[in-house]
Amino acid sequence: MTREQIVEEIRKKKSYLCVGLDTDISKIPVHLLQEEDPVFSFNKALIDATQAYCVSYKINTAFYEAQGIKGWQSMEKTLNYIPSNIFTIADAKRGDIGNTSTQYAKAFFEQMHFDSITVAPYMGKDSVKPFLDVENKWTIVLGLTSNEGAFDFQYQKNTQDKELYKQVIETVSTWGTPKNLMFVIGATKTDQLEAVRRLIPDHFLLVPGVGAQGGSLEEVSRIGLNKDIGLLINVSRQIIYAGNGTDFADKARLEAMKMQQSMQQLAGLS
């Protein structure tokens, strides 16, 4: 999926919402457990309910891998059910020596046909480049995360008094272009978002943490929007677990619609 297609979808739907299908089988409505594939039944209902309000779905692969082969099958069925005009993200956080990353790229881009994958850059350029080399696919590199352990490494300063996360973003941005490279920036890091935008004004940012994790849509939008919107705001729990009864999909639709309406107003999408 090209950058132009993503921007076109954003402007058409007046939304930059990414719905996280981080489906935990222990949290889905009880009545679905009688289904042959409860996870897919849950996801299918959510996609039907929210696709009018979002431009992307992010599948956190860990929730599916934890279920073994059945989980992989649920993930593949979910991915195949998502409409082709909606940007798909494999939140897999891969990254290894070059020949291993090449195999990961084949797995997620050729076998499963995701539009993008999240990648950890710690091992350097040769671990990221195999993903960037695949035409019309996106690599989404961890730039600055919101977890407590982020302070263990990401804020450490080098001899030039520059935080590691800034050095990572600056360096990685030279490996690709704004047409095939995005960065993950946690929504609770709005104090640092201005610095990030100065470093990479044109790149898209995937921003998790709005909603249940406490991130502010208004603050992220104020600081992070660029001429092409340049944001994919991921919301998972607030939408997919908005309800736990037979009306769970209706409640998810309402949450997604509220988010879309807020985004339309904040970004001036008319």
- Between the CA of residue 131 and those of 126, 135, 149, 259, what are the distances in Å? 10, 9, 26, 31
User: Annotated catalytic sites, by residue?
Assistant: 93
Residue 226: exposure state from Cβ atoms within 10 A (0-12, 13-18, ≥19):
middle
φ, ψ dihedrals at 59, nearest 5°: -105, 110
- Within 8 A by CB and 6+ apart from 25, the residues are 38, 39, 63, 67
- Between the CA of residue 261 and those of 21, 48, 109, what are the distances in Å? 21, 18, 32
CB 92 within 8 A of CB 117: yes
Q: Which residue matches tokens 């490996």?
A: 175
Q: How many CB atoms lie within 10 A of CB 97?
A: 12
